[in-house]
Amino acid sequence: MLADIENRGGVDSYIVVGDLVAIGPQPVEVLERLDQLRNIIFLRGNTDRYVVTGDRPEPTFEQATQDLNARERFVQCANSFSWTQGAVAGTGWIDWLSELVLEHRFDLPNGDSALCVHATPGTDDGAGVHENSEKEYLRSVASQTEASYLFVGHTHCAVDFVLPETHIWNLGCVSNPIPPDLRASYLILDADEGDTKITRYRVEYDLQRVLDITRQRRHPAEAHIREFLQGKRVPGWRVR
């Protein structure tokens, strides 16, 4: 993705809307690579919070004790976050990760404003914005935004919605995309005093290479990671 950006002429700055180090075998390498970029802003995602605080997504321990499938997911999830937490803490990145902020606001040259968050304004978790988001829900999200543009991630669903007061863009995801399109997704915002242009780009992502590294490093949640990378973990919000 970074190479694709450079091939398109590069950018003046980067904004990463969270979920930096979970569900993958190279959390430290990711942080080191991103830290090399100039003019980059990082936001906190829910998985970043999980790594720092020990919070975990569902299924809960109670759910795992009552359902065999939930039990397997619980174990894989616990193993994954514990492994990542150890890797990040052992290399000195845990304090940096704990200081990530929840949002970033900025003004565009034409006077419009933009807000970047992980899920929705005020939170790094919850339902987020996805292809099945209801209009009433989107209006509620827009009413909290107080900006012309809202940029989010969280659901990994590359969509956008135009509302009267706010244009909502979900960046999608680089390494854990939602099927059927498993390519990386990112946005470039090009703005001057006369116009603001936002373009989505898709890039082939070497998922097999990540799986190979996961296996080489004996990651304790290899099966869990494989499900994500191969698009087999379909979020509940896709079921109608």
Q: What is the pLDDT at residue 59?
A: 85
User: pLDDT tens across 194-212, in order?
Assistant: 999 999 999 998 989 999 9
pLDDT(103) > 80: yes
Q: How does residue 229 score in pLDDT terms, banded at 50, 70 and 90?
A: confident
Q: What CATH number does the domain located at 2-231 have?
A: 3.60.21.10
Half-sphere exposure of 51 (CA within 13 A, CB side): 31
Global pTM reads: 0.93
Q: How does residue 43 score in pLDDT terms, banded at 50, 70 and 90?
A: very high
Region 33-44: mean pLDDT is 96
What is the per-residue DSSP string for 71-105?
A: HHHHHHHHHHHHHHHHHHHHTT-HHHHHT-BSEEE
Q: Are 130 and 237 in contact (CB under 8 A)?
A: yes
Q: What is the pLDDT at residue 235?
A: 58
Q: What percent of the chain has pLDDT over 90?
A: 75
Collapsing DSSP states into helix, strand and coil, what is residue 193? coil
The CA radius of gyration of the chain, in Å to the nearest whole number, is: 18
Q: What is the pLDDT at residue 238?
A: 47
User: pLDDT tens across 150-202, in order?
Assistant: 999 999 999 999 999 999 999 999 988 788 899 999 999 999 999 999 999 99
Least confident of 52-66, 131-145, 204-218: 52-66
Region 84-107: mean pLDDT is 97
Question: What secondary structure letter does DSSP report for 149?
Answer: E
Name which residue leads in pLDDT, 54 or 147: 147
Q: Are 143 and 113 in contact (CB under 8 A)?
A: no
Q: What is the pLDDT at residue 101?
A: 97
| 160-162 sheet: strands from edge to edge | 103-107, 113-117, 149-152, 167-170, 160-162
**Distance (Å, whole) CA 135 – CA 133:** 7
